[in-house]
Amino acid sequence: MIRILAVDDEKGILRLIKNALEKEGYEVTAVEHPDQVSRLALQDYQLILLDVMMPGKDGFTLCEEIRELTDCPILFLTAKTGEQDLMRGLGLGGDDYIAKPFGIGELRARVAAHLRRERREKKNAVSVGGISFHLKAKQAFYREKELELTKSEYAICEYLAMNHGQVFSKERIYEAVFGYDGDSDNSVITEHVKNIRAKLKRVHLDPVETVWGIGYRWKSEKDGH
């Protein structure tokens, strides 16, 4: 199920958003206070709606804080539609604006459009646990910086990350990455995983877990990784 986060200090707006989008089959988390967002696993959401004018911490500040933690579309809800405001929000990582007051039809249509575009883009790039995998280029990025992985290391990471939460034996990983005709044996997977862990720990990431007696898994995003 597609999960959407809505942050607005007006309870009435949150009720409207929640009712409108849940009727479309989305799961909506409604948050009144911006400070509560830091306690959420932002990678679990496919789209975020942020009110701009909130007391204490406005939507622009919140967007800047969370953009490094998620690649999903961020849409601003705002009565401020001046060009300077629009440019500021987009420059901080926002994707679009929905002007207040807005109708239910417009809200549903804009949300659906961004989710469709996001699904199309994921054919080429997928984000798992904060790491962005560029599938065609065979490159991985964390916070917009490329991770220095070899071709084999990238292939192992991509395979595990695309199936995060599942456990795979060394034999299964070897076959998936090198094929049945590989010219080595599955013990190389142990060395590759060792090197992957060392490189990811340099950027304070530790997503590859050893499941003793079975193999490896990429920690599920629900585990907080």
| Consecutive H or E run containing 126 | strand 125-128
CATH 3.40.50.2300 is the classification of domain 3-121: yes
Q: Which helix (H) or strand (E) holds 172?
A: helix 170-178
Strand 167-168 and strand 215-218: the pairing is antiparallel
Q: Distance (Å, rounded) from C-alpha 151 to C-alpha 18? A: 44
Give the integer Cα–Cα distance in Å for 113 and 115. Answer: 5
* Arithmetic mean of pLDDT over the chain: 86
State residue 21's pLDDT score.
97
Whether the Cβ atoms of residue 190 and residue 197 lie closer than 8 Å to each other: no
pLDDT tens digits, one per residue of 166-205: 999 999 998 888 775 544 567 789 989 999 999 999 999 9
- Mean predicted confidence (pLDDT) in 16-33: 96
- Of the listed ranges 37-51, 84-98, 204-218, the least confidently predicted one is 84-98
C-alpha–C-alpha distance, residues 128 and 217, integer Å:
13
Contact 43, 127 (CB under 8 A): yes
Residue 51 has pLDDT above 90, yes or no: yes
Domain boundaries, the chain: 3-121, 125-223
Number of residues written out for the chain:
225
CATH domain 125-223 topology: Arc Repressor Mutant, subunit A (1.10.10)
